[in-house]
Amino acid sequence: MRQENMTGPVFICGPSRSGTTLMAWVFQNQLDIAAVGESHYFSHLRTAYAQRLDRPLKHDELDEFETYFFETRWRAYLPRQVGQKNEYARIDRDVVRQRCHELGGHADNYFQAYCEGYIEVLGGNSWGEKTPRHVFRIDDILSAFPDATIVCMIRDPRSVVASFKDWGKEKTEESSTGTQGRAPAGPKSDRRKRVEKVFHPITLATLCQGAFRAAEEAAKRHGSDRVRIIKFEDLILSPREVLEELAQWLGISAEIDPDNMPVSNSSYHKNDGKQSTGMNPKAVDRWRKTLTPAEIRVVERTASGMLRDGGYEASGIRANPFAMLGCYLSFAPSAMRAIVASRHRTGNLPAFVFRRFRMLLKG
């Protein structure tokens, strides 16, 4: 049950494939907080409305918001999940619009009204939201919701790269109930095709380190009472301790029982495709088998600053220098493919490229 001193929403962010989905499950199953998934609101729609945030939305703008939250964002970011994620389909559009008017009618009010609609469907004592890339929008989030708190997940960059490398190979899209299965035989999924276009150790290690730095800087600016950084590995290996500290930090009273929490994804136990429970310690070092020696060494060099400051040890693995050279030479064309494949996600393309180039320069 939520205590009185928890008054605002909680946002989950961090590098992609770093446990943000796991944390969203934790919120719902252990902390009674309903976290909307992958809205991309602060990096997409809100950015487009940057000059109109201080006035109520007009009728046609409300229509645009409704289309985005109930239709467009699913096609752009979570294809094929509208039918599976029935809880989103059950959110009442008219109720969201009315609640938006009650809150003030502004852009951020619509976002809040939609998230509150998610609580009405799932239940919970508070609402949250999970979009990994919002780690670069923490200032905007706390400006829009001064009573909010931020949970930033981080993960060994080698594990992040390995997770991307395997993403979409075997599993089907996972349902909201935590069940999963093997992908049916046939053409590759759209997700897998995109992963193959954008996958490169340097690209992913750079993005991972950039997100880590963004989380660090936000924690320094806003303080540890507003922004909390949690290591994926700590959550996997010591879930009870981490979750009890998180609940205390959020100001809620909860009975933590991670061993019986229903979960799904590559980071958790699997029982032959059936619903799984509990954490999987093997997820921590899976990168040692998934990545080649050359990929491991390239990631370690690219994200050396994050490895050092995040407390991750170098592997000491020796790699063929020609294999490493090939990896470096393939980076530029791979980066261009990634930009083209992700163009619908980037917004302002020159600004997107500039931000990513800055990440590469940050140590």
Exposed/middle/buried for 183, CB within 10 Å: 0-12, 13-18, 19+?
A: middle
Q: Domain residues of the chain, as ranges?
A: 10-32+125-361
SS3 helix, strand, coil % of the chain, rounded to 5? 55, 10, 35
Residues with Cβ within 8 Å of 66's Cβ and at least 6 positions away in sequence, in order, are 93, 96, 97
Q: Return d(Cα 255, Cα 160) in angstroms, integer.
A: 30
What does the pLDDT look like over 190-204, one tens digit per residue? 655 666 666 799 989
- Residue 355's φ and ψ, nearest 5 degrees, are -60, -45
| pLDDT given for residue 177 in this prediction | 35
- Where the chain has pLDDT below 50, the residues are 1-5, 79-84, 171-186, 266-271, 349, 353, 356
In a 13 Å sphere around the CA of 222, the CA atoms on its Cβ side amount to 24
Angle between helix 59-67 and helix 93-103 axes, rounded to 10 deg: 130
| pLDDT given for residue 276 in this prediction | 62
Measuring CA to CA, how many Å separate 226 from each of 6, 230, 258, 315?
A: 12, 13, 24, 34
Q: Return d(Cα 232, Cα 291) in angstroms, integer.
A: 19
Q: Report which of 148, 180, 173 is spatially closest to residue 35, judged by C-alpha positions.
A: 148
CATH number of 10-32+125-361: 3.40.50
The residue count of the chain comes to 363
| pLDDT given for residue 67 in this prediction | 93
Angle between helix 349-361 and helix 331-341 axes, rounded to 10 deg: 140
> Which H or E element spans position 184?
none
- Residue 36's φ and ψ, nearest 5 degrees, are -65, 140
| pLDDT given for residue 98 in this prediction | 97
| pLDDT given for residue 82 in this prediction | 46
